[in-house]
Structure 1
Amino acid sequence: MQSFRTELENPVVEKDIIELDKKIKLFREGQIPDEKFRSLRLARGIYGQRQPGVQMIRIKLPYGKMTLQQWARISDVSDEYSISNLHLTTRQDIQIHYVSLERTPELWAQLEKDDVTIREACGNTVRNVTASDKAGIDPDEPFDVTPYADATFRYFLRNPICQDMGRKFKIAFSSSDKDTAWAFMHDVGVIPKVQQVDGKEVRGFKVLVGGGLGAQPYLAHTAFEFLEADQLIPYIENVLRVFDRYGERASRHKARLKFLIQKIGWEEFDRLVKEERKALKSKVFVIDGTEERVALPEENAVLPAYSIKDPKQYEAWKTTNVFEQRQKGFFAAYIRVPLGNISTGTSRELIKALKPVIANDVRVTANQGLLLKYIRPAHLPYVFSVLEAVGYAAPGFDSIADITACPGTDTCNLGISSSTGIAAKLEQVIHDEFPDLVYNKDIKIKISGCMNSCGQHGIAAIGFHGSSLKSGGKTLPALQVLLGGGIVGNGVGRVADKVIKVPSKRGPDVLRSLLNDFDANGQEDELFNDYFDRQGERYFYELLKPLTDLTTLRDEDFVDWGHEEKYATAIGVGECAGVVIDLVATLLFEAEEKLAWGADALAVGQYSDGIYHAYSTFVQGAKALLLGEGVSCNTQHGIINDFDKHFVATGKINIEGGFKSLVMQINEHEPAESFAKQYYQQAADFYKQAQAYREAAATAAVPVTA
């Protein structure tokens, strides 16, 4: 097997990339099952596309930040390995598509040269830590949450407690009570707060837990109205440990944290979280909240000659896309990026032209745009001229005209009907028929290609998700219409209500009907969601019902937006969720692997990590033997209990005091060296027992021939 080489200075990252290269080769040779390999590559940002044989690579940008050099590096990588396009996501990531699996280690190594990672961008891990794009410059923020978001990202990256959970886990930091990061819709969402304690200003967070979108949205519980900042990461770790042990693993549709809390209740969940505290390596985690020193653009930067072609659009752009920062004398400017797609060529033009007049800190926004920071007032006309020259000077950022949409059926296995095609059409309707609404930032339109809400339709004032309808024995693309979602503030949100389903080609008429009715019947200064509440869901059902009449369908209704061929549903296997591994040999291999990782951790004094790897060895080994006996396993907690019932109590495996007592020592001891080494040895002994039992069972099952 030819070895892969990198030129990286970070040995941990280099080892990770070399390991990926080895696993790809083993997979191609048939030595790693597809289910196991899928789980492994997802945790490294490699996601199967709708198109066979190619991958989508998700690039993880904590809180959406990238330097100009990182932006250039990502562009170079897209040119070399992809199709010269960057797709900005609602999780503040960048995705590139149509990548060969064999080239992903090389691609990753190129990204890491500028400290850009794909590690844990997909899979059952802590996903990208998001934050309000204004963080650090927000006039309303009590303090900059950026250092805290960054510390959280780094603490949980490669952390053994969250490498193989039942489902993904999402964390968000809002910059103020306006909650522009939607803390209420995350597994853990936080909002910065300041309290006076003994005459001193103490930083902390309102902490919300157990929110989520998907097909069944849930609003988060308030865990703390105020949690001191140095307790935040320990608390998140407690939550993750409970989620890892008690979370569902068999049914992916019930495996998010919100379902665990719903199942056992908030009080029991809170009790379990508190039980984990003793095992933490850091009971207090102090984060240096000092704001990063920003290299300011030159006041007298030498700029090339420029002109503004459309002065009227410039004034609209200043009104809708520009705001004054908390730092007086500086402005920030948003860039509307249609459907989140920007070419590498345009990216390079912007980097080169804007470098003299912006900070070296560009943010990917949660509505698929970009934010430029620290612009001097005198440079705003030049910035606009640069954007105008490349076609990205449209006003109306984050307005009703700035529609959020996931890739949908363009590349995603789960897409049911087109989201990008209908989004482009709806933006055209607003531009052509309702041009004044470019100033309306009350109404948000969000579109997903399926019910899973990657386009965040569940928290939109006007939301759509892809669906299908049957008529005359034929299938046509459809849109589920949802209304009334959005942000209330301070951790309170609204989930949109499902109202009606219509053929996709009637989506523009849905929008026209809603906007015309609101214009005709809305009260003065009434917000759209207040109007929705006042009229009631039934009112809007009746308003839109004529658009559901299938007796008037035309041939074009059976063709989805952006397509020429007749529509047919082609839903593949989604990869956002966990993969159930039911191969005994693979599970035992995983147990052995985690044992090796535990030894590595102990060797460098990382006792807490070593303990958790040992814990995982116990669980994986037990799961392997249980599955070998036909016992289904859906949570780690269940595995621990079932192993006592089916193996210890029956005398198949001898463990003095019982398996649960042995394994759950993890919560009875501080993560000190002596316990770490003892626990690791116990895990190693158990693994030997499990292997011996499995080998004996396999031998007994082999028929004897003469």
Structure 2
Amino acid sequence: MSNSWKDVLAGKIPEDWGREIDNFEAQMTLRKAAKIEEKVFAETRLRRGTYGQRYDNGKRHDGITTQPLNFPTPSTKGPDTMWDAPGMTRIKIPFGGLNPEQMRVLADLAEEYSDNICHVTTRQDIQLHFTHIEDAPALFRRLAAVGITTKEACGNSVRNVTACPLAGVCHTEAFDVTPYAKALAFYLLGHPDTQDFGRKFKIAFSGCKHEACALVSIHDLGGIGVIKEIDGKQVRGFELYVGGGLGAVPHQAKLIEEFISAEDLMPYSRAVGRVFARLGEKKNRNKARVKFLVQKLGIEAFKKLVHDEIAVMPEDPTWRKHFDEIPQWDERPKDEQPPLVGISVNGKKSDDYTTWAATNIYKQRQAGFSVVTVHLPLGDMSADQTRLLADITHRYASDHARLTVEQNIVLRWVPDAKIPALYEELKAIGLGLPGAGTIVDVTSCPGTDTCKLGIASSRGLAGELRKRLAEKAINMDAAIKNLRIKVSGCFNSCGQHHVADLGFYGNSRNVGGYTVPHFQVMIGGRWRDNGGSYALAIGSIPSRRIPDVVDRMTGRFIAERQSTESFQDFCQRIGKKELKTMLDDMTKVPPHQVSPEYYSDWGDPREFTIGDLGVGECAGEVVSLTEFGFTDAESKAFEAQLLLDEKQFQKAEALAYEAILTAAKTLVQLQYLDVPNNPDAIVNEFRTRFVEPKIFWDTYHHGQFANYLFNRHSEGPDLRYNADTVHKLVEEANLFIDAAHKAHAKYQAGLATAVNVAAAPATV
């Protein structure tokens, strides 16, 4: 079936998305034939959401159990084990919004192509693990047919745009930020000004300042909704922050604008992207996030650069399309007036229901409706659960579901009177667990299960902590009930350990010739205030003792808390030195013969080893726009050849011409980054900048390859589409691309001394 999805879904996939998937499929073929460099293809597949993943003897850890999977052993032959070993597919879900149709497709894909699990990430994505790259085009097309893309879910790109899952129903928000997050997500998707980053770029929106919401403070760009009175009118806008991020070196985002109007949001964000693309680090990926650029320049200097960029960047009217769709956003329940408005949802039905209702229900500001959180331990739900949850979402939540940054799903617009029945249905499919948003709701990245950077088993530890805390939940002291625990498999903070009350990230120590799994203990991060402050590192503890660390820390907090003192204030009061002293005895590792359990990780009975730790694929190598451009041109030329073989002459001819234009534009952008994307402008600039100075030229052919472009361009639409004329143009496209490569090499060698090579927009 996978080879026929293109035909089955014809007419259901947006045309531009379909073309991009076709292009990726062509690049797969070219890479197999070694006609595309691996580093270029790697960044291409990353930007399509396709990762290589850790492959640990065919096993994935699920909480504290280990489940064997029937996947082939990866090949070690040749340069591309990616073709043989299973990988991972990340799926972008802007603002976390899902409808039942999309959920059913995700369930089908998890069942058919993955390990039967839909995994919710800490950035409102869905990940499918143990997928195979051969299935990627079919998977992409099935998602595209229901309005979902994987484009730029990974790589050096604008990642998923996240937003508060309560946006639109929250009591404390300024306004619903959902449509603004959606508009910016699709405006920047594939935008030419966001294709030359040195690293990834993350964006988040929150409707209020003092809740956790979307954790604006930890993002590269973040907006908090505010309303300002201007000339007697209430104007929507954003308090805008830039330069946040966690990772090995966390940075708190800095305020760059106290207020920008909603109408200025997209042009302003585009300008930030252009500054980052032009001035951000490209060689050292450890310094390539925008937070380092802001730190280097200072926020005022960075702000001035953004304002200067806005003044000179070419007009881009496409943002208006997305902005004009914002007023059309109108999420509503099926029934405007729910039955029995005001009914208590905490009326006793059973002890289980009462416990669940106390943690998993949020009363919307709209009377008679509530948000119900479906608690997903470790962010996982099976394909069957996903499919059944889609049906429940349709029946109870008016088709409105959203993923959360705490790896759960919320169902919105649930009539209060229907909540007891909803609970019974969730319970029947194993999704009726209480404890959402409490200390039991432990967040974890995939860690050593699938991540190449994972050092220790974050999921294994998180599963163990969750199990122990759930057993104590009924009698738990109220002071610790709403603390947050977050676990990462390494220092990169995908589990967001820096903003947890109790955070842990994986590392290791050598003890007596053995490698022993450890976790660095992070204390006192602030989850509220959009990730208001970061935790203190107080020491590395053997993995097996981390549950004891949680018991000791929470026990002392309960015993010594002053009045309503928060956990963060308590930690600051007793001090980092005392916190460390308090855990010193736990740092000791007993000899292997005495306590062998210390030498294996949670969820894995084998003796611990760093295993196949390798180069992570969160962001690929920095690949230049020129390399991307030529690869794109070659892919289009290849697709044209396939269409020619299928006797689709008109489509083949159009794609061959587009391949030539793409190669020409790639060269022009070496000098004129903002060349308008229309054939007349490309041809004119190409002629002036590369043909007339004889850069696109060789002695034998006297520039004849340039005529392939000029002749086709002058002919216009009145063409004869037959095998001979189209075959000729397809051949010419390949020759033109080869000549473009040579011209690029000549240009880079410094032979084009008469050409202005400055790419800064102010000098164009």
Do the aligned partners of 1:400 and 1:437 also contact (CA within 8 Å) in 2? no
Do the aligned partners of 2:348 and 2:354 also contact (CA within 8 Å) in 1? no
Match of 1:255 in 2: 288
Do the aligned partners of 1:208 and 1:224 also contact (CA within 8 Å) in 2? yes
Give the structure-2-normalised TM-score.
0.77
Moved more, 259-268 or 4-13: 4-13
Match of 1:107 in 2: 139
Do the aligned partners of 2:460 and 2:603 also contact (CA within 8 Å) in 1? yes
Match of 1:538 in 2: 577
Counterpart amino acid of residue 397 in structure 2: I
Within the candidate set 177, 180, 197, 1:165 is matched to 197
* C-alpha distance in structure 1 between counterparts of 2:5 and 2:688, whole Å: 35
Residues 370/694 of structure 1: CA separation in 2 closer, same or farther (3 Å cut): closer
Structure 2 gap ranges (5+): 56-73, 75-84, 341-346, 638-653, 655-659, 698-739, 750-764
Q: Does 1:77 align with 2:113?
A: no
Within the candidate set 222, 228, 240, 2:261 is matched to 228
Partner secondary structure for residue 201 of structure 2: coil
* C-alpha distance in structure 1 between counterparts of 2:330 and 2:518, whole Å: 48
Residues 586/273 of structure 1: CA separation in 2 closer, same or farther (3 Å cut): closer
Match of 1:558 in 2: 599
Q: Does 1:152 align with 2:184?
A: yes
Deviation at 1:326, TM superposition (A): 1.8
Do the aligned partners of 1:203 and 1:229 also contact (CA within 8 Å) in 2? yes
Within the candidate set 447, 456, 461, 2:496 is matched to 456
Counterpart amino acid of residue 253 in structure 1: N
Deviation at 1:316, TM superposition (A): 2.0
Partner secondary structure for residue 238 of structure 1: helix
Q: Does 1:316 align with 2:350?
A: no
Within the candidate set 236, 260, 267, 1:203 is matched to 236
Deviation at 1:384, TM superposition (A): 0.9
Kindly report which structure 2 residues correspond to 1:352-363, keeping only aligned pairs within 5 A, or say none.
352-363=391-402
Counterpart amino acid of residue 330 in structure 2: E
Within the candidate set 684, 688, 693, 2:696 is matched to 688
Counterpart amino acid of residue 453 in structure 1: S
Match of 2:313 in 1: 279
Match of 1:494 in 2: 533
Deviation at 1:3, TM superposition (A): 10
Match of 1:187 in 2: 220
Match of 1:644 in 2: none
Match of 1:412 in 2: 451
Counterpart amino acid of residue 535 in structure 1: I
Cα deviation per residue 1:658-687 (whole Å; 9 max; x = unaligned)?
Answer: xxxx547x5xx9999997775565565587
Counterpart amino acid of residue 556 in structure 1: E
Match of 2:301 in 1: 268
Deviation at 1:389, TM superposition (A): 1.4
Match of 1:338 in 2: 377
Within the candidate set 19, 43, 52, 2:47 is matched to 43
Counterpart amino acid of residue 43 in structure 1: R
Match of 1:470 in 2: 510
Do the aligned partners of 1:187 and 1:210 also contact (CA within 8 Å) in 2? yes
* C-alpha distance in structure 2 between counterparts of 1:614 and 1:222, whole Å: 41
* C-alpha distance in structure 1 between counterparts of 2:745 and 2:219, whole Å: 44
Counterpart amino acid of residue 91 in structure 1: R
Residues 58/681 of structure 1: CA separation in 2 closer, same or farther (3 Å cut): farther
Do the aligned partners of 1:125 and 1:168 also contact (CA within 8 Å) in 2? yes
Match of 2:67 in 1: none
Kindly report which structure 2 residues correspond to 1:250-649, keeping only aligned pairs within 5 A, or say none.
250-277=283-310, 278-282=312-316, 285=320, 286-287=323-324, 288-297=326-335, 311-433=350-472, 435-437=474-476, 440=480, 442-489=482-529, 493-551=532-590, 554-570=595-611, 571-581=613-623, 589-590=630-631, 617=667
* C-alpha distance in structure 1 between counterparts of 2:233 and 2:746, whole Å: 66
* C-alpha distance in structure 2 between counterparts of 1:255 and 1:697, whole Å: 27
Counterpart amino acid of residue 615 in structure 2: V
Partner secondary structure for residue 133 of structure 1: coil
Residues 611/198 of structure 1: CA separation in 2 closer, same or farther (3 Å cut): farther
Cα deviation per residue 1:122-178 (whole Å; 9 max; x = unaligned)?
Answer: 111110000000011111112111110110011011211113421110000012122
Match of 1:21 in 2: 25
* C-alpha distance in structure 2 between counterparts of 1:683 and 1:591, whole Å: 21
Do the aligned partners of 1:297 and 1:356 also contact (CA within 8 Å) in 2? no
Cα deviation per residue 1:446-500 (whole Å; 9 max; x = unaligned)?
Answer: 00111111110111111000110110111111100001112452x6710111111
Residues 395/587 of structure 1: CA separation in 2 closer, same or farther (3 Å cut): closer
* C-alpha distance in structure 1 between counterparts of 2:402 and 2:381, whole Å: 14
Partner secondary structure for residue 127 of structure 2: strand
Do the aligned partners of 2:218 and 2:531 also contact (CA within 8 Å) in 1? no
Partner secondary structure for residue 522 of structure 2: strand
Moved more, 548-557 or 385-394: 548-557
Do the aligned partners of 1:400 and 1:438 also contact (CA within 8 Å) in 2? no
* C-alpha distance in structure 2 between counterparts of 1:394 and 1:192, whole Å: 32
Counterpart amino acid of residue 155 in structure 2: G
Partner secondary structure for residue 142 of structure 1: coil
Residues 457/527 of structure 1: CA separation in 2 closer, same or farther (3 Å cut): same
* C-alpha distance in structure 2 between counterparts of 1:400 and 1:125, whole Å: 33
Match of 2:15 in 1: 11
Match of 1:120 in 2: 152
Partner secondary structure for residue 317 of structure 1: helix
Match of 1:656 in 2: none
Residues 592/399 of structure 1: CA separation in 2 closer, same or farther (3 Å cut): same
* C-alpha distance in structure 1 between counterparts of 2:204 and 2:160, whole Å: 9
Match of 2:166 in 1: 134
Give the structure-1-normalised TM-score.
0.84
Deviation at 1:693, TM superposition (A): 5.8
Do the aligned partners of 1:592 and 1:617 also contact (CA within 8 Å) in 2? no
Cα deviation per residue 1:337-373 (whole Å; 9 max; x = unaligned)?
Answer: 0000000111222222452221211001110001011
Residues 676/231 of structure 1: CA separation in 2 closer, same or farther (3 Å cut): farther
* C-alpha distance in structure 2 between counterparts of 1:330 and 1:577, whole Å: 41
Cα deviation per residue 1:366-393 (whole Å; 9 max; x = unaligned)?
Answer: 1000101111111010011111112222
* C-alpha distance in structure 2 between counterparts of 1:373 and 1:92, whole Å: 16
Partner secondary structure for residue 165 of structure 1: coil
Residues 87/585 of structure 1: CA separation in 2 closer, same or farther (3 Å cut): closer
Do the aligned partners of 1:205 and 1:228 also contact (CA within 8 Å) in 2? yes
* C-alpha distance in structure 1 between counterparts of 2:591 and 2:348, whole Å: 45
Partner secondary structure for residue 129 of structure 1: strand
Partner secondary structure for residue 128 of structure 2: strand
* C-alpha distance in structure 1 between counterparts of 2:494 and 2:462, whole Å: 14
Q: How many residues align?
A: 636
Moved more, 200-209 or 274-283: 274-283
* C-alpha distance in structure 1 between counterparts of 2:629 and 2:395, whole Å: 56
In angstroms, what is the RMSD of aligned CA positions?
3.3
Structure 1 gap ranges (5+): 302-307, 597-603, 605-609, 622-661, 700-706
Deviation at 1:233, TM superposition (A): 0.8
* C-alpha distance in structure 2 between counterparts of 1:698 and 1:329, whole Å: 66
Counterpart amino acid of residue 102 in structure 2: Q
Partner secondary structure for residue 204 of structure 1: strand
Residues 391/691 of structure 1: CA separation in 2 closer, same or farther (3 Å cut): closer
Deviation at 1:524, TM superposition (A): 2.0
Do the aligned partners of 2:26 and 2:635 also contact (CA within 8 Å) in 1? no
Cα deviation per residue 1:558-579 (whole Å; 9 max; x = unaligned)?
Answer: 1000001111113111111230
Q: Does 1:57 align with 2:89?
A: yes
Residues 391/293 of structure 1: CA separation in 2 closer, same or farther (3 Å cut): closer
Deviation at 1:536, TM superposition (A): 1.0
